[in-house]
Each structure stands twice: as structure tokens, then as C-alpha cells.
Amino acid sequence: MASATVENYVKQILLLREASEAGTVAGKPSPVPLGKLSVRMNVSPGTVTTMAKNMARDGLLHYRTRAGVVLTPKGERLALQVLRKHRLVEMFLVSTLQFDMSEVHAEAELLEHAISEKLLARIDDFLGRPQFDPHGDAIPGADGKMPHRKLCLLSECAAGDRIRISRIQQQDDAFLRYVLDAGLMPGVALTIESADLPADAFSVVFDDGRRLTLGGKAASGIQTTAEVSRKNVEKPAPASAKPSPDKNLSGSILLNMNEIKLY
């Protein structure tokens, strides 16, 4: 039906709208300007105009000239499906094939267009229906619903807070590799030792005692969830509490986002 190109357009429109809505009160969807889209898609502005017209003709979006595009329900459904494939594939590559967070994006970018509904369902089952991908991004459900958590920037935490890394927001290669090296992957629990705003410095302590200080830029690239304060959490992961991973062959339990929502 839809070409890989069209799938990428709707996906990118969805992501841009989400980004522009971040922190906004839910309301009428403001159109995504074509300039933004042309940058994201790495194509010239004229190309996007042409595509917008074609996709409007195909009922995937509404195009108001010089204002931008808004996905129709049909377009949104397609976009969510593509995003679901992308993120489930990322999860699969990390938990089953030993990839790490920083390597999976490019692979998933290709695979997301080559996965049938049937295969997707098998992967989803195999992984035990994860709700978040290896970066902590929400995986749209088969019904199109986005799982939701109350997240908080690491840079907005206060000294003494007990938190869990839940999402790496800043997803450029360099930062992802830093996060991996530093052990700040989603799923990791830690305590905020100090949050020195004037100094723009945030110190955290891992459960194994390791300490680390981040600047404000890095700290705002990482999102966290509040952890129920619970002293001396020694057992690394309550394996018995898993939802239903009939066959969870995940290499690292920390990278399975299923774990996160259990706390």
C-alpha cells in the first residue's frame, strides 16, 4: 500500500507534532510546517510540497497551503504503526541480538518498512509486549494507544531524590555512547546526591556506590521516574515479577523496559 517513503513522511510528521506539543495543553492539533519536515526528511522544500499534495490526495493528511500538514486519522494510524514497528524492532535487536542502544536506530529505520503485521505480532509476543524501547521511548500499542509515564528531567531532580533512568531524550550517537559507557541506561536506579543549579552540576550515586557528575546539558538529556524510596535494594531484578515473557531471552534485564513500569 504505502511506500517506504510515505511511511517515513507520516512518521516524521507524527514525531514533529509530538515534539511541538511537548509541554503544551492538549488541544486542536497545530499543523506541522513543511520547512521543518523538509529538514527532517533531508529533502528540498519543493519535494515536501509535492509529497504533501500527493499524501493529501491519498487521504493521509490535510494540507493547508503555506500553513502545513495535519495527519488524518488514517495517516495517524499508519504513522503509529510504523513507529510501533521501529521501536519494537529496536527492542528486539537490543534484547535478543546483543545490539546496544546506540546502534539500533539505523537498522530499525530500514527494517520498519519490511515487517509484516504477522511478523510484528510474533516479535511483540516474543518480547513479552514491551511498552518502551531501549531508549525509553513509548512503543505504540497494537491499538494505537501510547503507554504513558510521568517523567522528570534528571536536571530537575533534587538532592536526595531516589530515581530511575527511564528515557534518553537526547539521541545523537555521541550522547548515547556516553550514556552507555557511564552506565546510565534506562532501567538503572540511582540517588541524586546533589543538584547544584548555579554550578549547573548534578551528582548521582549508583547503588553499587559509583558516583558521577553531569553538567546541565547532559542532565536535561535524560529523563527519570520517581522511585518508591526503598532502602537497600540489593536484589538486582525480581525475575519472577515479569508480566508474561514466555521467552524472554533478553541479554540485559536492565534494558527491558517492562521492568521499569513494575516499580
The residue (of 108 and 157) whose beta carbon lies closer to DNA is: 108
Interface with its own copies (CB under 8 A), residue from 47, 49, 72, 96 = 96
Contact yes or no for 160/190 (Cβ under 8 A): no
Give the nearest distance from C-beta 33 to DNA in angstroms: 3
Q: What is the DSSP string of 95-126?
A: HHH---TTTHHHHHHHHTTS--HHHHHHHHHH
Q: Is 169 in the site for DNA (CB under 7 A)?
A: no
Q: Supply the minimum distance, in Å, between the C-beta of residue 4 and its own copies.
A: 9
CA–CA dist 72, 74 (Å, integer): 5
User: Which residues are bridge partners to 32 per DSSP?
Assistant: 69
3-state secondary structure of 150: coil
Angle, alpha carbons 240-188-121 (nearest 5°): 55
Q: Which does 103 bind (CB under 5 to 8 A by kind): its own copies, DNA, none?
A: its own copies
Query: By CB under 7 A, is residue 42 in contact with DNA?
Result: yes
Backbone angles phi, psi at 242, to 5 degrees: -65, 145
Closer Cβ to DNA, 106 or 239, answer by number: 106
Interface pattern 231-250 for its own copies (x via CB under 8 A):
----------------x-x-
Does the footprint of its own copies cover residue 83 (CB under 8 A)? no
DSSP state of 245: -
Residues contributing to the site for its own copies (CB under 8 A): 93, 96-99, 103, 106-107, 110-111, 113-116, 118-119, 122-123, 126, 247, 249
